[in-house]
Structure 1
């Protein structure tokens, strides 16, 4: 079901004649910027304000207050879903600068004017020259979404959490991988540092134990002891020789 909107495009201020100044001096109260037949509405009434038949949209021209009738026009919803404008006035309602005869089905972009200065002398269905008006509107038609379309769109947008054993989407997987990569990098950087230090120190200790240098002091001590013992042997032999020589010569 479509929404029918008549959007105000009054251009009477462009008229060079005397009545052009009446737009600025009059109130916008009776020049609604938007006249609308909404979905669910069957009819709207447009006319001069009155208590007998109150209109849904009261309008009044600043050119002449009597140019608009109390029940000037109605817009009704047709059986096929379109919208039809009916004229009930003395001075006429004009669609695309032709006085409405009976009813006219509104189309997107149509120009609608309420009232005409010479409307009493114009016959229904008679075209008129382009004229300025303070009650000029452009028709806008917009389709309202159906319940089926709204439900289908909601179902498409609705997301469900992944169940155990279900396949995770590539977007979720990439997001999780990004998060895990960031955390694992920081954790690995922290765990690798002490591990490398421990490994290097352990390897250095093992190398030291493996290639341990023999104690030189013990070797020197053994050699010195051997030297001392040799010296003792030499001294003893010399003393024995000397004593034997002395004994022989004596």
Structure 2
């Protein structure tokens, strides 16, 4: 499972074998977090960077009235933090949405490795650029897309991101999210999410079963949401540009 994180990094910015070996040494320990368990609480000191080796997690902002906004979904192979300039204290809560195995990577060790190995520093910089692009697209969805397009766009994004680490399942993938989770990510109510999921099912665009989803007509779903995966795929060109500088 550790290779999924390296797979994602290498896809964004190819790493030499020595860099990959050095990075593997950072993953010295991992923990298991049950579904709905807290990986990191807002306000806690950031000494370790969580990397999702297995399962799904989320970055969340909690409101005083008990509501939450999911600000990012962390899939297998994702890193909870993407920059060496992370604030000393966590600004968001990281929660497991399913049972997860989480690698805890020392912040200091990662910083030292990035200083020693420019290839790893470049890969992490490109990863940070992709994370920023995802956050920007989410903001556009929340502000400008209607509910059905918002949901369709998110499903297309998740399909594309999962394909990067599970290439043997092009149009189906695990989706361990409740309707409340989707609502918190999309800025909708669970009832509204349920209605839109039912519409996608009735239109024979998706099927849902046992926490998994199959997209039956991916080109149509992409077109309906104006989904362009460029913000997820532009990174290799960025990495090559960094290598030339």
TM-score, length basis structure 2: 0.23
Q: Highest relative contact order (Cα 8 Å, sep 6+), 1 or 2?
A: 2
Structure number with the higher helix fraction is: 2
* Higher CA-based Rg: 1
TM-score, length basis structure 1: 0.23
